[in-house]
Amino acid sequence: MKRSILSGLGAIIAGSLFAADPTPKDIVSAAAKKLGGQTNYTWTATVAVPEDAPFKPGPTQGKTEKDGFTTLSMSIFDNQIQAVLKGKQAAATSEDGSWKTAEEFDQQEGPARFMGIILRGAKRPADEAAEIASFAKELKKESDVYASDLTEEGGSPSRASRCRVATPCPSMRPKDSPNSGSRMAY
C-alpha cells in the first residue's frame, strides 16, 4: 500500500515538474510582463536593415515611466527627432524644431505625415515584446535570442503597416509575399 501511494505521489510530482518547465513563449511573456511592471526603464533600439534598403533608421533611445510619460530620441534620415507619448496622446519635433501633435503631422504632406504614423504606433518595448510574442508560431531560443516565425495574423500586411520605429520592429511580411521574412527575434 505504501509503495503504491509513493509511486503515485512520485508520478504526480514528476508530472508537475515536467509541466512546470516554462516554454520559450512563457519566458518571453514573463520577461515582458516583469519589464512592464518596473517603475521606469530606458532602452536603445537598433533596427537592422539590408544594406540596399532606401530607409535606414538610426538608433532610438527611450525612457518610460510606468503609467506615465515615454520620451523618445530618434534619428530619421538626417533629422534628430524628440517625441513624448502618454496614452494615446503624442507629440514630436518637426523638421524645423517646433513641436506638433500626431494629429498635426497627419495633416502634413510628404515625409512629415510619416511621423504621425510613427507616433500613433509607438509602444513601450515591454508592450511590443508581449504583443509580438503572442504572434509567435513556435518560439525557440537560438543562441542568445528567442526567435520564431510569426502567425499569419502577426505577419499580415495590415499589421506590417503599423511597424514601429520607436521599438525594435521585425520584418512582418507574410511568408508568401515577395519580400518574405515573417520572423521575429528578441
% residues pLDDT > 70 (the chain): 73
Compute the average pLDDT of residues 155-161.
56
pTM: 0.67
pLDDT band, very low/low/confident/very high, at 42 (cuts 50, 70, 90): very high
Q: Which residue has the higher pLDDT, 184 or 46?
A: 46
Q: Which residue has the higher pLDDT, 105 or 163?
A: 105
- DSSP-derived letter for residue 129 is H
- 92-140 pLDDT, tens digit per residue, is 999 888 999 999 999 998 888 889 998 988 889 999 888 888 888 888 8
Q: Supply the pLDDT for residue 157.
A: 54
- 71-82 pLDDT, tens digit per residue, is 999 988 778 999
Question: How do the residues of the chain divide into helix, strand and coil, expressed in percent and rounded to 5?
Answer: 35, 25, 40
Angle between helix axes 24-36 and 125-134 (nearest 10 degrees) is 160
Q: Supply the pLDDT for residue 159.
A: 55
pLDDT band, very low/low/confident/very high, at 179 (cuts 50, 70, 90): very low
